[in-house]
Amino acid sequence: MKNIYLDHAATTPTDKEILDEIIPFFSERFGNPSSVHTTGQDAMNAVDNARNTISKLLNCLSTEIIFTSGATESNNFAIKGVVKAYYAQHGKNAPIPHIITTAIEHHCVLDTCKSLEKEGLAKVTYASVNKDGLVDVEKIREAVKENTLLISVMHVNNEIGTMQPIQEIGNMLEELNKQRDLEGHKKIYFHTDAVQAINYVNCDVSKLKVDMLSFSGHKIYGPKGIGALFIKKDVKIKPILDGGGQEFKLRAGTHNVPAIVGFGHAAKRAQENKEKNDSIQEVRDHLIDRVLKEIPASYLNGSKEKRIPNNANFRFDNIEGEGLLLSLDMEGISASTGSACSSGSLDPSHVLLALGLRHEQAHGSLRLTLGKNTTKEEIDIVVEKIKEIVERLRKISGNVLSEFEK
């Protein structure tokens, strides 16, 4: 039985060439970058090379790249770090700062904001989205208050693949900050979680006009356990980890050199991956067209136009997503019902509920995310299997219902 992997939004396989670059840093080149001797400095040179490569991908200074353990830490650092810096500057009795985010962010953003609310350290507005999962720039503008400190909007949603108008928000905020400066108000920082965007969207931070940007290695065919946070040089931010002086005294902890090296090589190849966007989208559109045409009562969640090329998120009436997912897995097909971090939860996706779907509709969802090597032939196999499984599950559901009604 052929295994078909369609869960690239959860994680991607580390490219073999990247793995080959990593291996020496576990053994022959094992030094600690903080050591002053030759072995340590060899490791530091490797870290610096990776940082330079990543900075070129984002079009920023290399000193504006801070390595973390992944996007969850990066997002926590961005949000908690600026709040911590705010209180360090103004004192613990300062007016409570205001944060604006959206209702469909990854849980590591939402839970960070809720944690700050619970501790009484911030007030948060969770902007709604339309039925396609897109936020309105004007809604963000209208949510701004005198005490707004930070806006955090994800670049691409991890479940439905919709691309948010980050550049438009950046342009709006640039003009708004100019006015606020004249009025004597603090600058509002702009952060984006770009984890799902890096492989498919131009993340030039100067064009996006963001102050902070998070992403991770394992979503771009690099290793797990490594991420980065771009922090514009004028951002006032405090570390959230205490310890050594690594990462320009902003992130304590011994560098994960093998992962950083792999991250750098993955970033270098990310541009090559973007060049495959058209071919990936062609295969993805083939998937969408077949499913919607050949399976009754099937729907696409999110905008078809404003979504990254590899994402297809469906829902099926009278289907439990978990049953569909497990049945596909038995056929050797790896998929998801939502974000990988929530796969063990029976609660419906907060993203799909935010689109206005009912609980039972959200429960019938299936996320298929293609990779750079996914073929049309594989997609045809998957579609046939989905058709068979959906028909079988609906018959079971109908039979159970009929017996219950008797």
pLDDT for res 400: 43
Separation between Cα atoms, residue 255 and residue 258, nearest integer Å: 9
Confirm if 296 and 333 have CB atoms less than 8 A apart.
Answer: no
Task: Give the model confidence (pLDDT) of 233-244 as tens digits.
Answer: 999 999 999 999
Separation between Cα atoms, residue 298 and residue 285, nearest integer Å: 15
Q: Which CATH class is domain 4-12+275-405?
A: alpha beta
pLDDT for res 320: 87
Would you say the CATH fold of 16-273 matches that of 4-12+275-405? no
Is the pLDDT at 334 greater than 80? The verdict is yes
Q: Find the mean pLDDT for residues 132-151.
A: 97
Beta bridge partners of 314: 300, 366
Beta bridge partners of 298: 316
Is the pLDDT at 344 greater than 60? The verdict is no
Q: Find the mean pLDDT for residues 51-62.
A: 98
Torsion on CA atoms 345, 351, 357, 363, rounded to nearest 10: -20
Confidence of residue 103 (pLDDT cuts 50, 70, 90): very high
Task: Give the model confidence (pLDDT) of 348-360 as tens digits.
Answer: 899 999 999 998 8
Is the pLDDT at 342 greater than 90? The verdict is no
Torsion on CA atoms 330, 313, 210, 265, rounded to nearest 10: 40
Task: Give the model confidence (pLDDT) of 15-43 as tens digits.
Answer: 999 999 999 999 999 999 999 999 999 99
Q: Which two tokens stand for residue 265?
A: 């090589």
- Angle (CA) 255-247-210 rounded to 5° is 120
- Tell me if residue 341 is catalytic: yes
The overall average pLDDT reported for the chain is: 94
Contacts of 288 (CB under 8 A, 6+ apart): 300, 304, 312
Contacts of 32 (CB under 8 A, 6+ apart): 40, 43, 254, 255
Of the residues 60, 113, 203, 341, only one is catalytic, namely 341
Confidence of residue 402 (pLDDT cuts 50, 70, 90): very low
Domain range summary for the chain, segments of one domain joined by +: 4-12+275-405, 16-273
Torsion on CA atoms 178, 182, 185, 190, rounded to nearest 10: 10
Is the pLDDT at 406 greater than 50? The verdict is no
Task: Give the model confidence (pLDDT) of 264-281 as tens digits.
Answer: 999 999 988 888 899 999
CATH number for domain 16-273, candidates 3.40.50.620, 3.40.50.300, 3.40.640.10, 1.10.3720.10: 3.40.640.10
